[in-house]
Amino acid sequence: MNLTRSRLAQQTLVTWATLVSALLFLFCARALVARDLGPTAMGVYVLMLTVALLGGTFLSLGLPAYNAAFAQQERPDVLLANCLLWNGFVFCVLSIVCPLVFMFAGLPRARAFLLLGVWMAPLMSMMECLRGVLQGSGSMRAYNVVGFIGGALNLTAVAVLSMTGRLGLGAAAVCWVGSVVASLLVGIYGFSRGKGLARPDVRLLGRSLKFGGQAWLSQMTGVLNIRLALVLIEWLLGTAAVGIYSIGATISEGLLYLPYAVAAVTAPRFANATRLDAARLLVRAGAAVFAVNAVIGIVLGLLADPLVPLVFGPQYAGAVPILRALLPGIVIYGPIAVAAWYFNAHLKRPAINLVVVGFSAACGWIFIALLAPRFGLVGVGIATSCSYVAAAILNVVLLRRTSDLSYARFLEAARFERQRGVA
């Protein structure tokens, strides 16, 4: 048992370090884009990435969640082949449609970048499907390599262009596209090396969609819950406001990388754990995520005033109060990422996550509509933070009801786990 815990802790630490590295790459790349191009271009850049993320989640149809939950029960190479078939087909269609729209629709320059985000959506979907296969099969080294390469390549290219004075919005977009394609190719090659790719199994794909459909709705709502503020800001306050808000959001959302790392490592263990073991793992992982993120959140809040203008430029000083408004909600929201895989992989009830993130998204839309007109971007941050807190409360209620484990039983499981560790 101690050996298992040690390996779990080591995998979690390595995965977290990789995700933190990816966050630093993203942070530095966005800092260069923000300083060189200004808030308006930064807003267009962030919206392009948001469209690609939303589109990728939409096209994934929940397959990443199915892959992560069932890669030990199904052949992972067939799961990957099915995802390649679906996403490759959509990418080919968009490769015909998007150039036609660009040539004949007369889109403004900013909208053309959003169209680029649409074209990249199937590749973003394929990336998540690949990571789901690697996560579910326990191939955490490959999972981490894929996550590391894209950010490293993007930052390197952006930094070179910035130093040579050639960094424009188009060049930044090309760097991002190239990094996504390169990391996807490396991941597929590394997975299939020595054994090739299997043939797609349409029947398995159909079964995947039955489970994945529930997870897909949850994922779509979850992405909207995180990104809906950007969409509303662009509509209510303009593109430059998106650029300023995105700085506070990028920094605060870095706190989600620890729960993502824990979730990536624990998903296969939730799938095979007994009911009591799953409860112990959930309590231990959720408590650790909350404690670490609370400390980091306090430090970020204290250091925000000097660091944000120093890194991004004085024009982004308005992001500091936004960051402080977002931090409490992000800290409280973090353990939900771990609990999501308790519902997905252990209980096999992904629809519960849909209830949680759907409730959070609905609260967010309502709170933003009420607070943004009066308090501007800070009001958006407060509204978003409140929606995360509301989701965390609902998540605890649903955990107690669906797991048939009371809070006292959770504490008992945690104490039992500590005693076994000491023994």
- Structure tokens given for 31: 């800092």
| Per-residue confidence in pLDDT tens, the chain, 423 aa | 444 455 555 666 677 677 778 778 888 898 899 888 888 888 889 889 988 988 888 888 888 877 877 777 778 888 888 889 999 999 999 999 999 988 887 777 778 898 999 999 999 999 988 888 887 777 777 777 887 888 899 999 999 999 998 999 999 999 999 999 999 998 888 787 756 678 888 888 887 877 766 667 666 666 666 666 777 777 777 777 888 888 888 888 778 877 877 776 776 677 677 777 777 788 888 888 899 899 999 999 999 989 888 888 888 888 899 999 999 999 998 888 788 878 876 777 777 877 888 888 888 888 888 888 888 889 988 998 999 999 899 988 888 777 655 544 555 555 555 555 444
Measured CA to CA, the distance from residue 137 to residue 150 in angstroms comes to 21
Measured CA to CA, the distance from residue 158 to residue 179 in angstroms comes to 11
What string of DSSP letters covers 160-220? HHHHTT---HHHHHHHHHHHHHHHHHHHHHHHHTTT--PPP-HHHHHHHHHHHHHHHHHHH
Measured CA to CA, the distance from residue 128 to residue 131 in angstroms comes to 5
Measured CA to CA, the distance from residue 22 to residue 141 in angstroms comes to 15
pTM comes to 0.68
The pLDDT assigned to 61 comes to: 82
The pLDDT assigned to 73 comes to: 76
Sign of the Cα torsion 259, 4, 410, 295 reads negative
Scored b (16 or more CB within 10 A) or e, 93-130 reads: ebeeebeebeeeeeeeebebbbbbbbbbbbbbbbbbbb
Q: Cβ–Cβ contacts within 10 Å for residue 238, how many?
A: 13
In sequence order, the 6+-apart residues with CB closer than 8 A to the CB of 303 are none
The pLDDT assigned to 1 comes to: 43
Q: Among all chains, which residue has been given the structure tokens 């779990």?
A: 8
Provide the Cα torsion 386, 388, 394, 400; round to 10°. -130
CB 137 within 8 A of CB 71: yes
The pLDDT assigned to 422 comes to: 44
- Structure tokens given for 376: 């501007």
